Amino acid sequence: MEDTSRTELLAVAAENVTFSYGHRQVLNGLSLRIPPKRVFGLLGANGAGKTTLIRLLVGLLKPQAGSIRILGEPPSPRLAHRVGYMPQLTALYQELSAQQNVEFFARMYGMANPSQRRQAVEEAINLVGLWDRRSDPVLRLSGGMRQRVSLAAALVHSAPLLLLDEPTVGLDPELRASFWEHFGRLTRQGVTLVISSHTMDDAAHCDRLVFLQDGRVVAEGSPAELRAATGTSDATLEDAFLHYVRRG
């Protein structure tokens, strides 16, 4: 197990975070330490608290108890330019083209220099393989293409931390593989990725994982460590997930 106790090195540190929507408790004293320059997977069933956790990390929600630090600071608009956020909904302006959407979010992230911004937009759209469709309105793009535009909008300002909420949902296997190749390249460049998912395909690509259940962390480790903990030599990640979730 790697040492993640030194908070100054952590990309994300959450301590005893509690959050509820009305009477429904979604996160229940959740603690998490995410080291930098890794792909960190938040795995859990629907309703486990993944999206709520990501929204708390982005600063869209405030914890009712506990504390969160992102890159050493509490989440705030001041910190927002150092974080790229891809929400679960594609959240794009349907009438605008892919390029206009990415360009708009680049400006929102404070990229004021037009030539630098143009280059960053071009790179982000190229990275997701949509340069040929850059002028098409988003509403004329397929679901997978919209996901790619959404990812480009999160990548455009080259943030050191990316919080991606189920980025691979609805993608075909080839596209999913290309997303993961790109995520790998980003971590080698020093970017930290926090990715929520409920599929074991995604989990296998992560450097470290947490399994979430009912707003709590039930297990944490590398995919190999989590598989090994089941005590079965040929256990899959799905076996590991079920092992921890059933144990609760």
Q: Which residues bind another protein (CB under 8 A)?
A: 58-62, 75, 77-78, 80-81, 83, 85, 87-96, 100, 104-105, 107-110, 112, 137, 153
Which CB sits closer to another protein, 102 or 209? 102
Cα-to-chain-centroid distance, residue 139: 24
Least separation in angstroms between CB 135 and another protein: 11
Determine whether 241 is exposed, middle or buried from the number of CB atoms within 10 Å of its CB (0-12, 13-18, 19+): buried
CB of 86 or CB of 218, closer to another protein: 86
Question: Residue 155 and residue 152: Cα distance in Å, rounded?
Answer: 5
Comparing CB distances to another protein, the nearer of 158 and 222 is 158
**Minimum Å distance from CB 61 to another protein?**
5
- At its nearest, how many Å lie between another protein and the CB of residue 86? 9
CA distances from 54 to 32, 88, 103, 164, 201 (A): 12, 10, 24, 8, 20
CA distance 221 to 167: 21
Q: Please report, for residues 16, 30, 121, the alpha-carbon distance to residue 40 in angstroms, rounded to integers and kept in the order given.
A: 19, 16, 26
Please, what is the minimum distance in Å from the beta carbon of residue 216 to another protein? Answer: 22
- Cβ proximity to another protein: between 71 and 91 the closer is 91
